[in-house]
Each structure stands twice: as structure tokens, then as C-alpha cells.
Amino acid sequence: MSCTKLTKLFFGLALSISALTSTQASADATLDRIKGRGTLTVGVILSGAPFGYIDPKTQAQKGFNLDIAQALADDLGVKLETVTVTPPNRVQFLQQGKVDILIANMQYTEDRAKILDYVPTPYDRSGGAAVVRKDSGLKDWADLKGKPVCVSQGSNYTQPLMEEYGAVVKALPSQPESLLALQGGNCVAAVHVGATVGLLLQDRSEEWKDYAIPFPSELIPSDSVIWLRKGEKDTQAALDAGVKKLHASGKLLEFAKANRLLNTQYLQQANKTLSASK
């Protein structure tokens, strides 16, 4: 083969590699697709206030996570579309591209971060609380040793309940089914995000008059983050900037108060820190 032909072949291969690289980069550009179609599709859980629920009067979706999703869509200049997910299917929906991101009561864990990316700035921080019968005699997490405890499938509370406290964990498809199992006597405690079960006992006091949250501390308080598929760095950066703006402006605190989050300590600190750095 002549030198000229070799040179043409080399540049041809270089152009092919460049084109392939460009295509792959474009394929990862979820942010471009979001802006191109004018819609941010967010996976949300509608298991109850304060994070996500259906208003019985208007049938509208409401809650802290819905307010965050709408604010981030507004920040990107697109419409919001929500897709209802559950703990067992939320990661699958994200990986299959049925949703762009998850704002779905899913705290940061190292195991989750191995398969998904996340927005670095948390939008909240929360831990688990145990709902038990008032006459159960249970007073702390250590009292759950050897006893059946209900959680949602995929819950990050499963591992510490089993490994640190020796509980016998029963994973139910969702929080409502877990709480129903508790009322049916199939477990001695149901462990879920403290803000949701705390508000449940407060709002439905007659139905839950025989139950309480007696443990003095929350289980593994963790950062609540937005999850997205691996490698979507442009989307990650845009959403991180949006979350920081919501903290700095005090919007997240407003959303929290409007949705009656019982603990806003983390949000207050984040507002103070990020507004000072503007």
C-alpha cells in the first residue's frame, strides 16, 4: 500500500473514531433531550404526605417532592411530567429511560451510588422512624432483636435493622402495605422515613391512636438526593445548580413549611450556608 493510501486510511479511521465518540457523548446528553422535547420526566412516589400524595378533593399530585420537581423543571425552562414509581420498580424505571430522574424518597447509600449517579447537593436529610403499638413495650432500636419488622422493598433501612439490631425484616411492596401489616399484627414495628410516618400519626390520629413513634433517635439519617443514570454529567450539573439555587433562595424551606415537614433543621442550615456563599 502506498504512503498516500496509508495516510488517507489513517485520517479516515480518525474521523470515524471522532464521529463515534461524538455520537456516544450525544447519547449521554439527557439534558439535550429534556430541552429538545420540552419536558422533564420525574419519577415520584405518591405514598403519602409530606413528600408525595394525591389530593382527595382535586386529584392533583401534591407534596414536597412534587414542588421540588416543578421548581427544577421551571429552572430548566421545560414542563414537568411525573411518573408514579414504587420502591421495587423505581431504579428499573430510571435505568430503562421511563423517567429522566428520580425524586422518590431515596436516600444516598454507597450501594445505590455504585449503579446510579446522583445530584451532589442533597435536597433534604432524613432518617427512619419506627411505628409500634403503644403497649408493645418497645423503647429503642435494640429492642427489635429477633422480632419481625416491616419495611418497603428496597428500603435502605433493611441492612442496619438486620445487621446492627438483629431484627427479622419483612419487605412489603410499599409503605401503605407495610403499615397495614403492622396493624394486622404481622410485625411489631414498621420502619419508614420519619417525616412520613410522623405526619401520618398526626393527621390520622383516631385511626392510629394505639400507635406511637417511641424511639428517641432516627435510624441512619441520610442525605435525600436526586438520582439519575450513570454518566449523565450535564444533567447532573444542571440539576445541582438548580438545587443550590432552591436552597439559597429559601424556596426549599418554603416548600417544607407548606408541606408540613416536621424537621427542617438540615434545610435551615443549607439555606444559611448557600445563601452566604452567593
- For the stretch 92-141, pLDDT in tens is 999 999 999 999 989 999 999 999 999 999 999 999 999 999 999 999 99
In a domain, 78, yes or no: yes
Q: State whether 108 and 131 are in the same domain.
A: no
Q: Does 173 share its domain with 197? A: yes
pLDDT at residue 232, rounded to an integer? 94
Residues 34, 116 within the same domain: yes
Q: Are 125 and 264 in contact (CB under 8 A)?
A: no
* Final residue belonging to a domain, choices 220, 242, 259: 220
Average pLDDT of the chain to the nearest whole number: 90
User: How much is the average pLDDT of 13-36?
Assistant: 59
Assess whether pLDDT exceeds 80 at residue 20: no
Largest separation between any pair of C-alpha atoms in the chain: 91
Provide the domain limits for residue 101: 30-125+223-276
Note the pLDDT of residue 74: 98
Say what the pLDDT of residue 205 is. Answer: 95
- CA–CA dist 277, 38 (Å, integer): 31
Closest CA to 105 of 121, 126, 131, 130: 126
**pTM, full prediction:** 0.82
Looking at the fold, whether 142 and 206 belong to one and the same domain comes out as: yes
For 1-21, b/e burial (b = at least 16 CB within 10 A) is eeeeeeeeeeeeeeeeeeeee
Domain for residue 148, yes or no? yes
**CA gap 112, 101 in Å, rounded:** 14
**The pLDDT value given to residue 26:** 46
- CA atoms within 13 A of residue 219's CA, in its CB half-sphere: 28
Residue 119: how many CB atoms within 10 A of its CB? 23
Specify the pLDDT at position 48.
86
Cα(235)–Cα(119) distance, integer angstroms: 9
Per-residue pLDDT band for 277 (boundaries 50, 70, 90) equals confident
67: its cell numbers? 414542588
How far is Cα 205 from Cα 75, in angstroms, rounded to an integer?
38
* CATH number reported for the structural domain that contains residue 86 in this entry: 3.40.190.10
Instruction: Please indicate, yes or no, whether residues 110 and 143 belong to a single structural domain of this protein.
Output: no
Confidence at residue 5, expressed as pLDDT on a 0 to 100 scale: 54
DSSP 3-state of 127: strand
- 176: cis peptide before it, omega within 30°? no
For the chain, give the percent of residues with pLDDT over 70.
89
* pLDDT grade for 36, boundaries at 50, 70 and 90: very high
Evaluate whether 126 touches 221 at the Cβ level (below 8 Å): yes
pLDDT over 70 at 54, yes or no: yes
pLDDT of residue 278: 67
pLDDT at position 142 over 80? yes
| Beta strands 168-172; 117-118: pairing state | unpaired
**Same domain for 136 and 213:** yes
Note the pLDDT tens digit of each residue in 175-215.
Answer: 999 999 999 999 999 999 998 999 999 999 999 999 999 99
Which whole number is the average pLDDT over 1-23? 47
Instruction: Give the residue-averaged pLDDT of 240-257.
Output: 97
